[in-house]
Amino acid sequence: MLNQGDIITEFMARNSANTSVGFYTDQVVGRWADQAHKWAAGYKKWPFTEGRASTSFASLVAHREDGYLTGEYPEGWKTDSIRMMRIGSYEVGKREFYKFTKFLEDYPGNDDRIFSDYMRVYYVNPNIDVSGTVTLWGQYTPETLDTTLPAAVTVFSGEEEGNEAIVEMMMSYARKREKKLAESLAHVKEAKSILDEIWERIKAEQYNYQVPPDDGIFERFDVLEGGFGEFNRNQF
């Protein structure tokens, strides 16, 4: 199964039905396909639903009460899913929201390159010493499938087993509508099992990621002078 048309054809075949039957109209089946696609796409933080969005630093707005620079989450992105931010050519570190606000309260003039998010708004240190393009990396929700385009592909275009999970979820919807709840739950279980197998395979491949040679658990701290900075291995 490579596309939406294949998914719907397979669903109809398994139900021994066609769209001329009132119970399985094009509208009903198309809606189920879209719902199942969104469910499967949101089941895990898949690499193929990662997104990148950009805006200008000048578009950020000062929060009327706290003065933080704020921006709205990109449309269609999952809440609390911004993982990385760059402004210009500099990385801006993400901090937990309450610690972020406490830090800026205690050090109001600090210009550390940090940000946080709360609900669907991200907050940037207003004293930050960079400008330019704000680039975000995070997780998005796929757009509604166009049921008039059978060739439209799902987010699982490179992982076709995921389309089988979509069919299983559509079967669950059908059985639930027929009041066959045990069968409906069985199809949900099978759909999850398929997606879990894909996820385990993806995780297994991630072992090959390598970290930069200077990567470490802790930031370097100069115990003689205080503060964070370059650490001279020969200073002791």
With contact defined as beta carbons under 8 Å apart, do 123 and 116 qualify? yes
Whether the Cβ atoms of residue 130 and residue 148 lie closer than 8 Å to each other: no
Tens-binned pLDDT, residue by residue, of the chain (236 aa): 788 899 999 999 998 876 666 678 888 999 999 999 999 999 999 998 999 999 999 999 987 677 889 999 999 899 999 999 999 999 999 999 999 999 999 998 999 999 999 989 999 999 999 999 999 999 988 888 787 788 888 999 878 899 999 999 999 999 999 999 999 999 999 999 999 999 999 888 876 665 555 555 445 444 444 444 444 444 44
Residues contacting residue 67 through CB under 8 Å, at least 6 positions apart: 126
Tokens read off for 97: 């929201």
Where does residue 63 fall: left (phi above 0), alpha (psi -120 to 50 degrees), or beta otherwise? beta
- What residues contact 90, with CB distance under 8 A and at least 6 apart? 113, 130
Q: What is the DSSP letter of 142?
A: P
Q: Which residue from 83, 192, 195, 76 is spatially nearest to 142, judged by alpha carbons?
A: 76
CA atoms within 13 A of residue 66's CA, in its CB half-sphere: 15
Do 117 and 85 meet the contact criterion of CB atoms below 8 Å apart?
no
Topology, domain 49-140: Thrombin, subunit H (2.40.10)
Spatial distance between the Cα atoms of 98 and 15, rounded to a whole number of angstroms: 52
What whole-number distance in Å separates Cα of residue 14 and Cα of residue 78?
A: 33
Length of the chain: 236
Q: What does the buried/exposed string (b/e) look like for 155-166 if buried means 16 or more CB atoms within 10 Å of the residue's CB?
A: bbeebeebbbbb
- 20: which DSSP letter? T
Does residue 28 sit in helix, strand or coil?
helix
Domain spans, the chain: 4-46+155-207, 49-140
Report how far apart, in Å, the C-alpha atoms of 22 and of each of 18, 135, 147 are. Answer: 9, 48, 18
